[in-house]
């Protein structure tokens, strides 16, 4: 398919060819959901921790004698049944991360890119940089492509000046073509894809011959 390339001031310049196996696939909603859940799980720190009765600070002595008081028997003050005692089955530090099949993750990225093309929320812009590194210069460019809303810029390389200019914009995030994130792409209301990144995506995701079908089986 061919898509229009826009200049930084919003004018139509030329067209660029996009690989149909990357930007023209049927959208697989299931694999997109799994990719987003995988990213969210991998971001969890898992540092919540509680103390059980063996870790709580306190005396091991019986608070009162076993018999004759009419009260329930107590072994020590660290019992989970006592105020200030240990916690029963409380959380402990753990790793929530898990790996996702490579083919499924690639299919998720291509499905999201195809979805953005179908919904006309993806625009291809000529390669640009912000030499000054100033936020106002980048905001001036973004204004040519619509109001300020959740925006993702896909870069062809790690451009430090552009990232510096956009560091103070809360609704803007940056992705490199070879390190896409399903969560940011899917929830981005506006995707600005640099022309060089579009060509790189054609080569990066279009080079494999087999992909996962909607049924989850490999096919040509």
Ranges of the chain whose pLDDT falls below 50: 209-220
Residues 144-164 have pLDDT tens digits of 888 878 999 999 888 889 999
Domain membership of residue 40 (yes or no) is no
Residue 159 lies in a domain: yes
Domain around 84: 45-95
Same domain for 81 and 150: no
* Confidence (pLDDT) at 29: 95
How many domains, in total, are found in the chain? 2
Give every CB contact of residue 45 below 8 A, 6+ residues apart in sequence. none
Same domain, 56 and 147: no
Query: Both 124 and 188 in a single domain?
Result: yes
pLDDT of residue 159: 82
pLDDT of residue 207: 64
Pair 105, 91 in one domain: no
Mark whether 58 and 104 lie in a shared domain: no
117 and 157 in a single domain? The answer is yes
Q: What are the tens digits of pLDDT across the range 101-138? A: 999 999 999 999 999 999 999 999 999 999 888 999 99
Do 121 and 67 share a domain, yes or no? no
Quick one: 151 and 55 in the same domain?
no
Indicate whether 112 belongs to any domain: yes
Indicate the pTM of the whole model: 0.80
């Amino acid at each position: 398919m061919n898509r229009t390339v826009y200049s930084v001031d919003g004018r139509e310049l030329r067209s660029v060819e996009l690989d149909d196996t990357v930007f023209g696939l049927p959208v697989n909603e299931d694999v997109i959901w799994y990719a987003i859940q995988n990213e969210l799980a991998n971001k969890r720190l898992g540092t919540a921790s509680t103390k059980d009765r063996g870790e709580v600070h306190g005396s091991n002595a019986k608070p009162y004698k076993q018999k004759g008081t009419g009260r329930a028997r107590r072994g020590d003050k660290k019992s989970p049944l006592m105020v200030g005692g240990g916690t029963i089955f409380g959380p402990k530090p753990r790793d929530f991360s898990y790996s996702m099949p490579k083919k499924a993750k690639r299919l998720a990225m291509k499905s999201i890119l195809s979805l953005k093309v179908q919904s006309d929320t993806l625009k291809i812009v000529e390669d640009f940089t912000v030499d000054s590194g100033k936020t106002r210069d980048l905001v001036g460019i973004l204004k040519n492509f619509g109001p300020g809303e959740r925006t993702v810029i896909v870069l062809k390389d790690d451009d430090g000046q552009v990232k510096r200019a956009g560091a103070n914009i809360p609704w803007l995030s940056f992705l490199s073509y070879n390190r896409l994130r399903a969560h940011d792409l899917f929830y981005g209301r506006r995707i600005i894809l640099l022309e060089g990144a579009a060509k790189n995506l054609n080569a990066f995701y279009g080079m494999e011959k087999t992909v996962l079908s909607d049924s989850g089986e490999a096919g040509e």
